[in-house]
């Protein structure tokens, strides 16, 4: 079965010669193409059980590489376990109209930062007006649809309740299955995004847009539309919150298991058509078009795609969580089942091997290295 690294190694050189790319897109291509190959270097390993020697190839650690997210996800989830509260948690999703996609393409730092801030602040504003409570939320940026099209949206995880204005009382939800009116949230989100984009235009932060694309017309066209937001059913408990987070926080545009084949006909991958009853389908693209779509979702370096708001904001999150636990009446940390660890197996006897600390997620390290990657 093909993987993303194989596709990058095969066509990255041609793609770079025929398409304009940004520095962070080129950096992602270099990392993914070299990940777990001889170009990244390797460490010799010996199985203590059978004595078989085999190489452990180093990971690229690029956050867009589908092979390099397991360790970062596990460490992040371990930290989040300490912060969960014994309350219902809600999943809210904010989307934007397609008319704004051009701004996302040319000014991603400005546009995506505006989306994350607007999603978090919309929840805080509506939470205060409807509940008189200071909510907290975690926001996660996703930019892709199932077929790798550009589809910016923000996933939010929101505890069911918040701190009172003076911080001396926990304000619980009247209905544990209902958070906030979704239409009010979507309209507040629309207002905040459009305000942020208008300000960015006045400050010259949208100057990279093409001359024939007038930002104020695009923004006002989006402001005239109804935006879509939706809330899913509340999670069954803290365990379900962690399961959800493990699926969404460190996800990349496409994982290797969705790629069915890569040959002269192009790249075939699986996707789900939500407009057709969530049906699983196959999509075949030329290798260059597949790579073009994938690179739409490579974020600028140092852009933070997971952000916290309200009483979960970074500066005082620890103190606020301790106060919330005390006010709820459950000061102790919640306990969870141990999550399964990623195993590295000896290719000969299939017994677990402990990898060196300098080698990241132990997935298929025993395979022979692919051919040399020479793209710039």
Per DSSP, the three-state class of 352 is strand
- pLDDT score recorded for residue 360: 40
Q: 357 falls in which pLDDT band (50, 70, 90)? A: very low
1 falls in which pLDDT band (50, 70, 90)?
low
In the predicted structure, residue 344 carries a pLDDT above the cut 80 = no
For residue 335, the model assigns a pLDDT of: 60
Looking at residue 156, its pLDDT comes to: 94
Question: Span 207-213, mean pLDDT?
Answer: 93
**40-92 pLDDT, tens digit each:** 888 887 787 787 887 788 889 899 999 888 778 888 888 888 888 989 999 99
Residue 242: closest CA among 32, 81, 363: 81
pLDDT number for residue 278: 84
Q: What angle do CA 233, 234, 235 make, to 5 degrees?
A: 115
Contact between 133 and 158 under an 8 Å Cβ cutoff? The reply is no
Q: What pLDDT, on the 0 to 100 scale, is given for residue 249?
A: 83
Chain-centre distance of CA 323, in angstroms? 29
Find, among 319, 308, 303, the residue nearest to 121 by Cα.
Answer: 308
Residue 358 has pLDDT above 60, yes or no: no
Ranges 8-12, 121-125, 315-319: which has the least confidence:
315-319
Residue the block writes with tokens 């600028």: 300
Beta bridge partners of 172: 161
The secondary structure of residue 334, as a DSSP letter, is: P
First to last CA, the chain: 26
The answer to whether 155 and 117 are in contact (CB under 8 A) is no
Picking from 76, 278, 274, the residue whose alpha carbon sits closest to that of residue 157 is: 76
- CA distance readout (Å), 23 to 11, 17, 29, 33: 18, 14, 10, 15
Lowest-confidence pick of 71-75, 264-268, 272-276, 320-324: 71-75
pLDDT given at position 337: 59
Local confidence band at 128 (pLDDT 50, 70, 90 cut-offs): very high
Distance CA 219, CA 201 (A): 10
Mean pLDDT of 325-329: 92
Per-residue confidence (pLDDT) for residue 281, from 0 to 100: 93
Instruction: Tell me which of 196 and 332 has the higher pLDDT.
Output: 196
Query: Could you tell me the residue ranges of all domains in the chain?
Result: 7-60+347-376, 86-253+296-328, 260-292
Model confidence at 293: pLDDT above 90? yes
| pLDDT for residue 363 is more than 90 | no
pLDDT of 94 higher than 90: yes
Altogether, the residues listed in the chain come to a count of: 376
Q: Give 132-189 pLDDT, tens digit per residue.
A: 999 999 999 999 999 999 999 999 999 999 999 999 999 999 998 899 999 999 999 9
| 235 has a pLDDT exceeding 60 | yes
Q: Give the 3-state secondary structure of residue 374.
A: coil
Q: Give the pLDDT of residue 359.
A: 45
The first and second tokens of residue 17, run together, are: 């010669």
Q: What mean pLDDT do residues 352-365 have?
A: 47
pLDDT of residue 234: 80
Both structure tokens of 126: 């509506």
Please, what is the average pLDDT of the chain?
87
- CA-to-CA distance for 281 and 182, rounded, in angstroms? 31
- pLDDT at 336 (0 to 100): 58
Q: Which of 49-63, 130-144, 222-236, 360-374 has the lowest mean pLDDT?
A: 360-374
């Amino acid at each position: 079965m093909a993987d993303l690294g194989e596709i990058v190694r095969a066509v990255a050189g041609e793609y770079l010669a025929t398409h304009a790319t940004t520095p962070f897109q080129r950096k992602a291509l270099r990392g993914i193409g070299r990940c777990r190959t001889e170009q990244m270097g390797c460490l010799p390993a010996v199985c203590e059980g059978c004595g078989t020697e085999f190489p452990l190839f180093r990971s690229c650690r690029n956050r867009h590489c589908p092979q390099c997210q397991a360790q970062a996800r596990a460490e992040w989830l371990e930290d989040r376990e300490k912060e969960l509260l014994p309350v219902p948690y809600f999943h809210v999703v904010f989307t934007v109209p397609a008319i704004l996609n051009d701004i996302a393409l040319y000014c991603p730092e400005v546009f995506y930062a505006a989306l994350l801030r607007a999603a978090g602040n919309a929840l805080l504003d509506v939470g205060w007006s409807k509940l008189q409570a200071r909510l907290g939320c975690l926001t996660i940026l996703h930019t892709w649809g199932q077929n790798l099209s550009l589809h910016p949206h923000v996933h939010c995880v929101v505890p069911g309740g918040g701190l009172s204005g003076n911080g001396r009382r926990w304000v619980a939800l009247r209905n544990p299955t209902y958070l906030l009116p979704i239409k009010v949230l979507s309209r507040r989100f629309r207002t905040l995004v459009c305000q942020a984009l208008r300000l960015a235009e006045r400050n010259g932060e949208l100057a990279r847009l093409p001359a024939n694309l007038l930002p104020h017309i695009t923004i006002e066209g989006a402001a005239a539309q109804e935006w879509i937001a939706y809330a899913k059913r509340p999670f069954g408990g803290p365990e379900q919150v962690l399961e959800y987070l493990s699926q969404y926080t460190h996800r990349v545009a496409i994982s290797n298991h969705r790629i069915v084949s890569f040959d002269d006909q192009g790249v075939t991958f699986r996707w789900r058509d939500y407009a057709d009853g969530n049906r699983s389908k196959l999509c075949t693209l030329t290798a260059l078009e597949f790579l073009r779509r994938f690179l739409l979702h490579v974020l600028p370096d140092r852009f933070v795609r997971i952000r916290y708001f309200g009483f979960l904001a970074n500066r005082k999150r620890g103190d606020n969580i301790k106060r919330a636990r005390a006010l709820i009446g459950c000061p102790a940390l919640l306990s969870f089942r141990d999550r399964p660890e990623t195993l590295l197996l000896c290719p000969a006897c299939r017994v677990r091997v402990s990898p060196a600390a300098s080698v990241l997620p132990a997935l298929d390290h025993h395979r022979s290295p692919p051919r040399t990657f020479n793209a710039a």
